[in-house]
């Protein structure tokens, strides 16, 4: 009996229980989304901790982007669980030897202690001023957001600044923890040679930084364009430079992993090599390596080496950023789905059949990728990142003072 | 011979007790009742399996018995135990032909000519009940655990259905039950072994290719099996403390 028809797609021999894939496209989204969170936060910390003043226009946008995506990050996991109603048990009775059991704690720490607190501290003055300047329900909303604080004296703002600075400093290792941990989830599975490498957390981390920087850069350019406002080119040029550097490290790490595997050629190599040349060829070689890594790297290198016009640079950054996001998504796909296409007997291969309008199908996956942008749109309306342009009513009296 | 009153009372008492006990045993035997086993003390046992590849004939009795006993879904993607057929040509142990049609549930149709110069044999597979089990290690809530008697068990009322354990098992022994959305696997017929019975697969193997043994019981025949055969575990490089010991395990088996 084979009601799912999966057995027909098996080539060679698989252990019978392996025929059906365990982790679907939703689990591909999980590292992709948390990667964007970690990367966006690292970009924000460039300005705050490393004093790269040029990227300041994207500081708040990066934090809000990280928050929007972090809110969505656990949703694909919840949708995937056989018993989502039991997931809270991970907080109540965590199994200490399980990497996965740490997810809830790492997530909560990052969400509440790092991101929400840092955003609140950075926006506190704006929130108080917005509460003072607005009327009715809007006023009440901002008063709630201000959590009762109304003091925006120089001294209190200095405290905000100092605490915020400290939070960013602990935020960087936290962002590393958040995404390095996701890499560890895969890298520590010794049963699966496609995943099991100590490089996995590091590769995940650098690809996260790359994808987060690319996303915030694109969001910044898109929002400025849609609002009909000037794009701060020194800012975007600086982001593109860090984007390029991070990408080189990421590429070097991935190549190190690849060369190591090819040269060592252990018992799993023939099987994995076959897979990369067949079932993963398009997503791994064409999309991830070709148009998702080499092409954007070449474009970014061009912008660094040749003096291009502003319009050409904008086009190059948009193209490189977009391709990179596609490439990093393909990388997550190749890790998660690719790691389940071959048998642990190294004798056969199965196929991932993605459904459409099911709980773990393509439709909820698309919805989960759109959702953070809707949340971000709401956050940007609530907490304008460029108050001097968006809410002159609260910045004007300051300027006059 | 003189019997004093003390001796008389003592021996009569003994006779009465022995007679009553004997009568009880005979009565119980005649009534067909199973004698009450001594209360099962998990910590007093350490279960392992011995599998003899040289005795396995690929009849599939074990697979059928397991599915019936443990209510395993009948689809070809869900097995607590299954049987593989290996066909190895000469020295080519890195590329064996392996099949397991419906997990061996229906036996194996003839596929290979007898004189093709290759060696063909059957390998019964089952949860290895590892002492250092990767599946237990990764479970985020401890729903899967090693019992004090060395059996890897699953608490279905606690399992989240995250499937991390399925990924972590190097032997492909776990599946998600589509009816409960929780993980399932061989539990060595825990409901049977704790009552002094054999697991269904062992009970139904016509050739004695499967044996369960208590490593903590010095009189258990498994010790003789382990002493008299050159045994091996699957994927020893995984270092999982596997307790499924194979006799006659070919180097091509994985």
> B132-151: per-residue pLDDT in tens?
999 999 999 999 999 999 99
Residue A77 lies inside a defined structural domain of this protein: yes
Domains contained in chain B, number = 2
B16 and B83 together in one domain = no
B219 and B175 together in one domain = yes
- Please report which helix (H) or strand (E) contains residue A122, including its range: helix A117-133
Give chain B positions within 8 Å (CB) of A200: none
Most B CBs within 10 A among A7, A16, A95, A184, hence the mutation to make, goes to A16
- Residue A237 — pLDDT band, cuts 50, 70, 90? very high
Is pLDDT above 70 for A396?
no
For residue range A305-334, list pLDDT tens digits in order. Answer: 999 999 999 999 999 999 999 999 999 999
Residue A395 lies inside a defined structural domain of this protein: no
B48 and B32 together in one domain = no
**Average pLDDT of span B125-138:** 98
Is pLDDT above 60 for A400?
no
Residue B253 lies inside a defined structural domain of this protein: no
Residue B254 lies inside a defined structural domain of this protein: no
Give chain A positions within 8 Å (CB) of B79: 16-17
For residue range A141-195, list pLDDT tens digits in order. Answer: 999 999 999 999 999 999 999 999 999 999 999 988 988 999 999 999 999 999 9
Q: What is the 3-state secondary structure (H, E, C) of B58-110?
A: CCCHHHHHHHHHHCCCCCCCCCCEEEEEEEEECCCCCCCEEECHHHHCCCCCC
Domains contained in chain A, number = 1
Residue A306 lies inside a defined structural domain of this protein: yes
Is pLDDT above 60 for A243?
yes
Coil/strand/helix, residue B212: strand
- Residue B34 — pLDDT band, cuts 50, 70, 90? low
Which one has a higher pLDDT value, B96 or A394? B96
- Please give the residue range of the domain that contains residue A283: 11-387
Is pLDDT above 70 for A267?
yes
Q: Residue A297: how many CA atoms within 13 Å on its side-chain side?
A: 17
Residue A20 lies inside a defined structural domain of this protein: yes
Closest CA to A119 of A162, A74, A168: A168
**Average pLDDT of span A214-218:** 98
With a CB-CB cutoff of 8 Å, which residues 188-217 of chain B face chain A? none
Q: Average pLDDT, whole number, for chain A? A: 94
The alpha carbon dihedral of A134, A136, A141, A145 has a sign of positive
B24 and B144 together in one domain = no
Angle at CA B178, nearest 5°, toward B175 and B180? 100
d(Cα B107, Cα B61) in Å, to the nearest integer? 8
Residue A398 lies inside a defined structural domain of this protein: no
For residue range B153-172, list pLDDT tens digits in order. Answer: 999 999 999 999 999 999 99
Write the CA distances from A328 to A40, A287, B11, B243, integer angstroms.
14, 9, 90, 41
* Domain CATH number, residue B98: 3.30.70.20
Determine the distance in angstroms separating the CA of A13 from the nearest CA of chain B, rounded to an integer. Answer: 6
- Residue B30 — pLDDT band, cuts 50, 70, 90? low
Which one has a higher pLDDT value, A37 or A389? A37
Is pLDDT above 50 for A399?
no
Q: Contact at 8 Å (CB) between B172 and A20?
A: no
pLDDT of the residue at B236: 97
Closest CA to B127 of B87, B183, B74: B183
Is pLDDT above 60 for A2?
no
pLDDT of the residue at B2: 66
Q: Contact at 8 Å (CB) between A78 and A53?
A: no
d(Cα A152, Cα A135) in Å, to the nearest integer? 19
pLDDT of the residue at A401: 38
Among A273-282, A283-292, B37-46, which stretch is predicted with the lowest mean pLDDT?
Answer: B37-46
| 8-state DSSP, A342 | B
Is pLDDT above 50 for B57?
yes
**Average pLDDT of span B168-177:** 98
Residue A3 lies inside a defined structural domain of this protein: no
B153 and B229 together in one domain = yes
- Closest-CA residue of B relative to A78 is B162
Contact B238 A89 (CB under 8 A): no
For residue range B183-203, list pLDDT tens digits in order. Answer: 999 999 999 999 999 999 999
B126 and B32 together in one domain = no
Q: Average pLDDT, whole number, for chain B? A: 93
- Closest-CA residue of A relative to B127 is A17
Contact A189 B175 (CB under 8 A): no
For β-strands A11-12 and B144-146, DSSP reports them as unpaired
pLDDT of the residue at B11: 81
The alpha carbon dihedral of A86, A89, A94, A99 has a sign of positive
Give chain B positions within 8 Å (CB) of A74: none
Q: Is B34 exposed, middle or buried (0-12, 13-18, 19+ CB in 10 A)?
A: exposed
Nearest CB to B172; choose among A18, A86, A100: A18
Give the number of other Cβ atoms within 10 Å of residue B115's Cβ: 6
pLDDT of the residue at A35: 96
**Average pLDDT of span A360-368:** 97
* Domain CATH number, residue A254: 1.20.1630.10
B62 and B106 together in one domain = yes
B211 and B101 together in one domain = yes
B192 and B134 together in one domain = yes
Count of A-B CB contacts under 8 Å: 138
pLDDT of the residue at A3: 53
With a CB-CB cutoff of 8 Å, which residues 126-165 of chain B face chain A? 134, 136-142, 158-164
Residue B252 lies inside a defined structural domain of this protein: no
Q: Is B15 exposed, middle or buried (0-12, 13-18, 19+ CB in 10 A)?
A: exposed
Contact B160 A87 (CB under 8 A): yes
Is pLDDT above 80 for B94?
yes
Is pLDDT above 80 for A394?
no
**Measured distance between the N- and C-terminal CA atoms of chain B, rounded to whole angstroms:** 77
pLDDT of the residue at A9: 84
B28 and B126 together in one domain = no
B117 and B19 together in one domain = no
Residue A122 lies inside a defined structural domain of this protein: yes
Residue A397 lies inside a defined structural domain of this protein: no
- Please give the residue range of the domain that contains residue B30: 1-36
Is pLDDT above 90 for A395?
no
d(Cα A316, Cα A306) in Å, to the nearest integer? 12
B24 and B80 together in one domain = no
The ipTM of this complex is: 0.94
pLDDT of the residue at A372: 98
* Ordered alpha helix ranges (H), A279-359: 295-305, 310-336, 338-341
d(Cα B181, Cα A389) in Å, to the nearest integer? 52
The string of DSSP letters for B220-247 reads: -THHHHHHHS-EE-SSGGG-----EEEE
- Closest-CA residue of A relative to B105 is A1
B251 part of contact set with chain A, CB < 8 Å: no
Give the burial string for A27-60 (b: 16+ CB within 10 Å, else e).
Answer: bbbbbbbbbbbbbbbbbbbbbbeeebebbebbbb
Is pLDDT above 60 for A46?
yes
pLDDT of the residue at B129: 98
Nearest CB to A98; choose among B82, B138, B174: B138
Contact B172 A97 (CB under 8 A): no
Determine the distance in angstroms separating the CA of A101 from the nearest CA of chain B, rounded to an integer. Answer: 4
Most A CBs within 10 A among B138, B170, B171, B176, hence the mutation to make, goes to B138
């Amino acid at each position: 009996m084979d009601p799912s028809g999966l057995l027909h797609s098996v080539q060679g021999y698989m252990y019978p229980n392996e025929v059906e894939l365990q982790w679907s496209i939703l689990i591909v989204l999980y590292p992709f989304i948390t990667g964007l969170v970690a990367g966006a936060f690292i970009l924000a910390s460039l300005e705050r901790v490393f004093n790269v003043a040029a990227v300041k226009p994207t500081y708040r946008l990066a934090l809000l982007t990280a928050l929007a995506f972090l809110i969505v990050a656990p949703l694909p996991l919840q949708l995937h669980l056989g018993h989502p109603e039991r997931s809270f048990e991970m907080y109540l009775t965590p199994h200490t030897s399980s990497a996965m059991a740490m997810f809830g704690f790492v997530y909560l720490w990052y969400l509440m202690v790092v991101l929400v607190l840092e955003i609140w501290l950075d926006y506190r003055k704006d929130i108080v001023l917005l509460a003072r300047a607005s009327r009715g329900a809007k006023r009440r909303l901002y008063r709630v957001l201000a959590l009762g604080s109304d003091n925006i004296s120089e001294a209190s703002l200095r405290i905000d600044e100092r605490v915020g600075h400290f939070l960013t400093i602990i935020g960087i290792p936290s962002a590393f923890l958040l995404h390095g941990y996701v890499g560890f989830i895969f890298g520590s599975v010794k049963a699966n040679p496609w995943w099991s490498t100590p490089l996995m957390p590091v590769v995940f981390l650098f690809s996260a930084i790359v994808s987060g920087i690319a996303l915030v850069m694109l969001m910044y350019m898109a929002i400025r364009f849609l609002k009909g406002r000037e794009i701060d080119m020194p800012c975007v040029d600086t982001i593109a430079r860090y984007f390029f550097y991070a990408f080189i490290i990421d590429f070097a790490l991935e190549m190190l992993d690849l060369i190591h595997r090819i040269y060592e050629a252990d018992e799993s190599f023939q099987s994995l090599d076959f897979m990369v040349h067949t079932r993963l060829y398009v997503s791994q070689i064409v999309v991830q390596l070709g148009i998702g890594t080499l092409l954007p790297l070449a474009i970014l290198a061009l912008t660094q080496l040749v003096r291009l016009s502003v319009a050409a640079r904008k086009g190059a950054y948009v193209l490189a950023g977009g391709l990179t996001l596609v490439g990093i998504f393909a990388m997550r796909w190749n890790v998660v789905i690719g790691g389940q296409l071959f048998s642990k007997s190294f004798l056969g291969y199965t196929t991932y059949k993605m459904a459409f309008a099911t709980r773990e199908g393509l439709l909820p996956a698309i919805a989960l990728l759109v959702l953070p942008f809707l949340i971000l749109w709401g956050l940007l309306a609530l907490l304008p990142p460029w108050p001097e342009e968006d809410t002159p009513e609260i910045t004007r009296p300051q300027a006059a003072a | 011979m003189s019997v004093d009153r003390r001796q008389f009372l003592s021996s009569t008492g003994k006779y009465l007790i022995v007679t009553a006990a004997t009568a009880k045993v005979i009565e119980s035997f005649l009534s067909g009742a199973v004698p009450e086993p001594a209360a099962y003390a998990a910590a007093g046992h350490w279960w392992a399996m011995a599998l003899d590849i040289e005795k396995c004939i690929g009849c599939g009795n074990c697979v059928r018995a397991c599915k019936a006993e443990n209510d395993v879904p009948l689809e070809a993607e869900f097995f607590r135990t299954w049987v593989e057929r290996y066909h190895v040509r000469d020295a080519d142990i890195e590329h064996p032909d392996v099949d397991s049609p419906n997990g061996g549930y229906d036996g194996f149709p003839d596929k290979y000519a007898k004189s093709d110069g290759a060696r063909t044999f059957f390998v019964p597979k089952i949860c290895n009940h590892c002492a250092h089990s990767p599946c237990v290690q990764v479970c985020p809530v401890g729903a899967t655990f090693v019992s004090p008697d060395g059996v890897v068990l699953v608490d279905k009322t606690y399992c989240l259905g995250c499937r991390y354990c399925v990924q972590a098992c190097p032997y492909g022994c776990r599946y998600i039950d589509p009816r409960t959305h929780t993980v399932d696997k061989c539990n060595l017929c825990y409901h049977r072994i704790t009552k002094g019975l054999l697991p269904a697969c062992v009970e139904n193997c016509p050739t004695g290719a499967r044996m369960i043994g208590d490593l903590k019981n010095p009189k258990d025949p498994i010790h003789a099996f382990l002493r008299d055969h050159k045994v091996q575990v699957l994927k020893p490089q995984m270092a999982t403390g596997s307790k499924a010991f194979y006799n006659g395990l070919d180097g091509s088996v994985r």
